[in-house]
Structure 1
Amino acid sequence: MQTIIDNISIESVAAWLPKNKLDMRSLCSSYGDSEVANIIKATGVEKVRIADTDMTSSDMCQKAAEYLFDADSIDKSVIDGLVFVSQTSDYILPATSICLQDRLGLSEDTVCIDIHYGCSGYIYGLFQAACWISSGMCSKVLVLAGDTTSRMINPMDKSLRMVFGDCGTATLVSRGGSSMGFHIQSDGSGADRLIVPAGGFRTPVSTETSILEYDEDHNGRTQNDLFMDGMAIFNFAITKVHKNINSLLETMQWEKDSVGLFALHQANVFMVNYIRKKLKVRAEVTPTNVTNYGNTGPATIPLLFSDLCSQGKYDLSRVVMSGFGVGLSWGSVAADMCYTRFYNPVNK
């Protein structure tokens, strides 16, 4: 699916990070010095943030939203849409977005929806917000994206524990004078490449699903834990993502050299750099910040904005975002973010 939606703007972006830091080198006693060194070298991840056991992704997103409200001096009564993007919802039901409407003190006229997506989720959240605004249904939509992925990882699974971190973000999308281009794709045949096998209604949690098993690389997990076929995901990303972006650039009639920032999902340093080379774009316009935060799922792109764009070092008149992962799903957004306000991540 490709489309251009007119009269949409991204007003502001903020991020909230939990205070707990996990330094990967502290895991040497558990996994061994050489194993830890090899994973750090391969991924570029040196530290991640881990949420407290009583903190959910909605809590982090709520804090990011409140931070954004204060920084922007926003009248909350003008917000009429709320999109919550996360794979770690508060409940099976009700929808977490409905709970956040109340907790944030938004109007009862606010339309709310949950989007159960991970690393591509921010793209879907922006698309949902843009559609609501374009239809005339909403004028200002709050997109909250975040995950506590650390809760889904078995402590014995070093391959994932040393990659994923937690974060919550808030983005305000509104009616404006700019256009946003979207290119979104899906391939459900790869659903088993990145999955928590048990815990839903197809395979409920049971004694059998809770048995700890080890793979050939000595990573331990149960069927209740997150599983990722790392090589399959890597091959998917390096095959599909650059083509998706190039197609969107053609639709927008943008030359690659005119794009001031390519904000790619921060899976790991190696993957981002590989996709950059496939795109044939400069390293300076394809930054990474995964070293200090890890892969924060649907929060990586807004966290990248919050972390780097407040410094004013990029030309944001033409920005391309790209998210890819669980589903399998992938998509890109082209936008003018010259007038977007970016707030440094809050670290509590």
Structure 2
Amino acid sequence: MKTILKNVQIKAVNSWLPSNSLEMLSLGSLYGEFEVNTIMKATGVNRVRIANKDMTSADMCRKAAEALFEQECIGREEIDGLVFVSQTPDYILPATSILLQEKLMLSKDTVCIDIHYGCSGYIYGLFQASLWVSSGACKNVLVLSGDTTSRMINPNDKSLRMVFGDCGTSTLVSKGSDLIGFHIQSDGSGSDRLIVPAGGFRLPCSEETSVLEWDEDHNGRTKNDLFMDGIAIFNFAISQVHKNINTLIEYMEWNKADVGFYALHQANDFMVNYVRKKLKISADIAPTNVSNFGNTGPASIPLLFSDLCPAEYNLKKVIMCGFGVGLSWGSVAANLSNTHFYQPINK
């Protein structure tokens, strides 16, 4: 799917981080120092943030939204749309976006929707919000994206525990005069490459799904835990992501040399570096920040903006790209030269 929507502006972006930090080097006694250093060198992740047990992704996103109201001096009554993007909702039902409408004290005329996506989720959140704004249905939409991925990872699974972190973000999409372009793709044949096998209605949690199993790399997990085929996801990313981005740039009729910033999903250093090579772009305009935060799923792109507050970049032509679970991947082309970026909050 490719489309260009009119009269949309991404007005502001911020993020909220848990105060708890897990240092990868602290896991040496558990997994072995050599193994830990090898994984750190490959992923570029030195530490991640971990939410308290009583804090959900909705709680983190709510804190980000509350801060955004103050930072942007926008009234709650001005918000008429709310999109919650997460794979770790508060409940199976009701929708978490509905709960956030009440907790944020938004108008009862606010349209709310949950999007159950991971690493490509921010792209879908922006798409949904932009549709509402471009159509004239809404004037100001909050896109709240975040995950507590750490809750889905078995402590015995070093391959994932040393990569994924928790974060909540808030993005304000408003009526404006800019164009915003999208290119979104899906491939369900790869759904088993990144999955929590049990816990839904297809395979409910049980004693059988709770049995700890070990793979050939000595990672332990149950069927209730997150599983990722890292090699398959890597091969997917380096074969498809650059094509998706280049197609969008061509569709927008942009000169690739004029793109001033690429906000790529922060999967890990190794993967982002390969995508950059495929795109033939430098790290100067496609930076990473996985070192301090790891892979934060649907929060990784807005966290990148919030962390860098990239005022020194040319943001008139920006590409954002998310890719992962589904398999699902997509890109956004937008003018962010007037967007307000606020540094991460953790208090």
Q: Normalization by structure 2: what TM-score?
A: 0.99
For the Cα contact (< 8 Å) 1:212–1:221, is it kept in 2?
yes
Residue of structure 2 equivalent to 1:78: 78
Q: CA deviation at 1:255?
A: 1.6
How far, CA to CA, are the matches of 1:333 and 1:234 in structure 2? 21
Partners of 2:318 and 2:26 lie apart in 1 by 37
Structure 1 residue 117: Cα displacement: 0.1
Whole-Å Cα distance in 1 between the matches of residues 19 and 283 of structure 2? 30
1:50 positional shift: 0.1
Report what 2:213 is aligned to. Answer: 213
Q: Which residue of 1 aligns with 2:102?
A: 102
Three-state SS of the structure 2 residue aligned to 1:347 is coil
Partners in 2 of 1:10 and 1:30 — Cα distance? Answer: 44
User: Which runs of structure 2 are paired with 1:63-212 in the superposition (5 Å)?
Assistant: 63-212=63-212
1:26-45 per-residue CA deviation (whole Å, 9 max, x = no partner) reads: 00000001000000000000
Measure the CA separation in 1 of the matches of 2:144 and 2:176. 20
CA distance in 2, matches of 1:38, 1:167: 25
Q: Name structure 2 gaps, 5 residues minimum.
A: none
Partner of 1:14: 14
**TM alignment of 1:12-51, pairs within 5 A:** 12-51=12-51
The 2-side partners of 1:283 and 1:105 are apart by 41
Cα offset, 1:133, TM superposition: 1.1
8 Å contact 1:4–1:182 — kept in the other structure? yes
Q: How many residue pairs end up in the alignment?
A: 347
Q: C-alpha distance in 2, partners of 1:295/1:95? A: 25
SS of alignment partner, residue 284 of structure 2: helix
Q: Which amino acid aligns with 1:286?
A: A
- How far off is 1:257 after superposition? 1.3
User: Which consecutive residues of structure 1, in runs of 5 or more, have no partner in the other structure?
Assistant: none
Secondary structure at the residue paired with 1:248?
helix
Distance in 2 (CA, whole Å) between partners of 1:260 and 1:72 is 25
More deviation in 128-137 or 222-231?
A: 128-137
CA distance in 1: counterparts of 2:179 and 2:110, whole angstroms: 24
8 A contact 1:256–1:281 mirrored in 2: no
Show the counterpart of 1:318. Answer: 317
Rounded Cα–Cα distance in structure 2 between residues aligned with 1:291 and 1:67 = 25
2:67, 2:313 → 1: CA distance? 24
By how many angstroms is 1:79 displaced?
0.5
Q: Which amino acid aligns with 2:89?
A: S
| C-alpha contact (below 8 Å) 1:11/1:341 kept by paired residues | yes
Structure 1, residues 62-107: CA drift from partner, whole Å, max 9, x if none? Answer: 0000011111111110110000000000000000000000000100
Task: After TM superposition, give the deviation of residue 313 of structure 1 in Å.
Answer: 1.5
Following superposition, the deviation at residue 120 of structure 1 comes to 0.1
Q: Which shifted more, 67-76 or 231-240?
A: 67-76
Structure 1 runs of 4+ with >2 Å offset: none
Aligned to 1:225: 225
One-letter amino acid matched to 1:324: F
1:225 and 1:281 map into 2 onto residues whose CA distance is 36
Equivalence for 1:244 = 244
Q: Distance in 1 between matches of 2:7 and 2:337?
A: 15
Following TM superposition, by how much is the alpha carbon of 1:135 offset from its aligned partner in structure 2, in angstroms? 1.6
